[in-house]
A and B are shown apart, each in its own frame.
Chain A
Amino acid sequence: MKGRRDFFPPLDIGAGRIELGHGSGGRATAQLIEELFSAAFDNDWLRGMNDQASFEAPPGRLVLTTDSFVVSPLFFPGGDIGCLAVNGTVNDIAMAGAKPLYLSASFILEEGFPLADLHRVVQSMAVAARAAGVAIITGDTKVVERGKADGVFITTTGVGNVPDATRIDASRARPNDRIILSGTLGDHGVAVLSRRENLHFETELRSDSAPLHELVAAMLAVAPDLHCLRDPTRGGLAAVLNEWARQSDVGMIIHERAIPIRPEVAAACEFLGLDPLYLANEGKLVAVCPPQSAEDVVRAMRRHPLGRDATIIGEVRADAHRAVEMETAFGGRRLVDWLSSDPLPRIC
């Protein structure tokens, strides 16, 4: 005979919304986890419904990283907050030369957030995690009152492992090293901008959000002694190069003509008055590499789908001022300044 406790209506993913009760830790929370998160991420750890997950310690050194994702709008051409949350953390692990293994995912949900949107985000995370070969093995859910979150905020923490011998670090750039970029700049930044209210424009551009660990593995296979690696997310290429220049106490020079930029990105930057060097990328990396391996690394990258446009864009040099400079398309020189805040569209 069916008891009272067996009858509980399934989540109304089509029309339902997040309610404060979903964060209370009671039955509604369990249902949300089971029917939405666990169903999508689909592994034994989550099915176990524990507050934690345990796993065998992998060989080598462990790498830990965490990132919060607050992007607005939540959905944009080529991606959404969900795949960013997975790929972003996978990439932070990859930038240490490490193999990403497991992720945790915490959600802060706004009361009233449509379950259909949450479902879409979670599905996107599941697809991204499978593509990256990682499992989302534990997580958390909280709900805040309407108005206190932008729909959803996601924090992912990732664990990976890296061979002891790999020492990639921001302080390792040396004069004469080559600076390598894996592909076109600014695609993600412009794709997101195109969906911002008050800036709305149409473009075929899509976010480049992608997991980069296999590309990195291909690079390390030909050049185990890569010096620096990073994905130029917020702040763009300019931020990464300036950070490295400071940490390594060197200067850098890049060549505008060598930097691949899609025409649509260039066009969007023109009419908004933005500089692609400062725009976010979610599926690109920049590397500093000893000069003798640079060509081999680029060749290896070009054999990989995410590195087809890989190219050497500049070199590191001694400089007490730690300046990052660019040789412009016209042969002049300009500084690539380290901005303290996001660039804004301008009229002037």
Chain B
Amino acid sequence: MNLTEAFRDADLARRMATTIATEVSPHRRYSLMEFCGGHTHTLARYGLEQLLPGNVEMIHGPGCPVCVLPGGRIAAGIALAQRPGVILCSYGDLLRVPARHGATLMRTRAAGADVRMIYSTRDALAIAQRHPDREVVFFAIGFETTTPATAVAVTEARRLGLQNFSVFCNHVLTPPAMSGILAAPGGVAVQGFIGPGHVASVIGSRPFERFAEQDGYPIVITGFEALDLLQAIRQLIRQINVGRAVLENEYRRVVSREGNEKALALIDEVFTLREDFEWRGLGRVAHSALRLRDDFACFDAEARFALTVEDVPDHKACECAAVLRGAIRPEQCKVFGTACTPDNPLGSCMVSSEGACAARYRYATRGVPRAGTEAV
């Protein structure tokens, strides 16, 4: 069985969309939030929302670790890169994210800093081994899907006795972020959640059960193929129709209730919870992020370089907080597509292509105001 092709069968998709159309109640509006930026991306790149009936709306959640990283922490990363002798290693996603005054890691490299894009933390370790005379810092970002990769790198660095490797840790946690949205003033205008399939592959589906059992929201843990999303949307609609609120696992081929226990043990060995953490667009959320344990302080770039992280507030006109909660759609933000574009993002939603606003801007057809393309 070709695992990718079978999950992209266009004919199946069309027919599933038709099924969804027969199952929605014409008198209801359905607002479903996909938390994860990867799901936003799948929806956008395939134009799946256009296959859905008009009364089903997808609200794009904040599950994009680049988008929610505060400008102050990017600025701190940039400052690290500017220190003489430092090699700053980063995933590609971060390189063009602006901190203050349009500063980015990419521009910092252009100005002479040694900033290197890597695909895997293994590459960062290899760089540290090749350059024992340089300080190699890995700019770690990501939700729980990506955290294990950093944990492995840190334990490996310890095993190898590396003296020149450290991590600038910005790992964040999904369930607290989801609770944070639900708790935001004004609440959240959604009736069900498409649950993050790859986060759940690591932490299991169990941590998401509370959103159904305690908070009363149907939630479906979902894979990332088009058919996965259509199936999950159908399952949510069916739950909403009968007033049910349970967790369903659509991504059984990868997600179990307990998750990857080996990965979780590694994460626990290396990291501990921060008291709280500033999220771009969401504000301060308690127990929502990780830092290295004191045991691993020598691998913690914040300790090693005595980093100070400033508070860089978002632009006054930024309405990301409302977009992230589903209170407004991207197009309803006054600066969407004009002052705020992917090339010049004012707030988190526009920063990376999975951000709600960036996805809308980049992929959505018609009716999206586009700065500079009006015929003269």
Is A in direct contact with B (CB under 8 Å) within the complex?
yes
A54 interfacial by beta-carbon distance below 8 Å: no
Whole-angstrom CA separation of A74 from B133 in the bound complex? 28
| Residue count of chain A within 8 Å CB distance of chain B | 31
Interchain CB contact under 8 A, A334 and B365: yes
Stretch of A17-25, A206-214, A294-302, A324-332 at the chain-chain interface: A324-332
**Assuming A345-B119, A348-B64, is B46 touching A330 (CB within 8 A)?**
yes
| Closest-CB distance, B259 to chain A (whole angstroms) | 19
Looking at chain A's contact residues, is the secondary structure mostly helix, strand, loop, or mixed?
loop
**Assuming A320-B375, A333-B365, A334-B364, is B93 touching A348 (CB within 8 A)?**
yes
Interchain CB contact under 8 A, A346 and B93: yes
B117 interfacial by beta-carbon distance below 8 Å: yes
A50 interfacial by beta-carbon distance below 8 Å: no
Pick from A325, A329, A335, A348: contact of B352, CB under 8 Å: A348
Other than A320-B374, A344-B92, A345-B91, give 20 A-B pairs with Cβ distance below 8 A. Answer: A199-B119, A272-B119, A328-B46, A329-B10, A329-B46, A330-B47, A330-B226, A331-B13, A332-B47, A333-B365, A334-B363, A335-B363, A335-B364, A335-B368, A337-B363, A344-B93, A347-B142, A348-B64, A348-B66, A348-B142
B116 interfacial by beta-carbon distance below 8 Å: yes
B65 interfacial by beta-carbon distance below 8 Å: yes
Interchain CB contact under 8 A, A334 and B47: yes
B48 interfacial by beta-carbon distance below 8 Å: yes
Interchain CB contact under 8 A, B38 and A344: no
Interchain CB contact under 8 A, B123 and A198: yes
A330 surroundings in chain B (CB, below 8 A): 10, 13-14, 46-48, 51, 226
Q: In chain B between 324 and 376, which residues have their CB closer than 8 angstroms to a CB of chain A?
A: 343, 352-354, 361-366, 368, 370, 373-375
Shortest Cβ distance from A257 into B: residue? B10
Of the candidates A321, A328, A348, the one having the most CB atoms from chain B within 10 angstroms of its own CB is: A348
Interchain CB contact under 8 A, B370 and A321: yes
Shortest Cβ distance from A338 into B: residue? B373
B41 surroundings in chain A (CB, below 8 A): 348
Binary CB contact string for chain B from 38 to 49 against chain A (1 if under 8 A, 0 otherwise): 100100111111
B151 interfacial by beta-carbon distance below 8 Å: no
A325 surroundings in chain B (CB, below 8 A): 365
B49 surroundings in chain A (CB, below 8 A): 332
| Closest-CB distance, A324 to chain B (whole angstroms) | 10
| Closest-CB distance, B130 to chain A (whole angstroms) | 11
**Assuming A329-B8, A348-B65, is B362 touching A335 (CB within 8 A)?**
yes
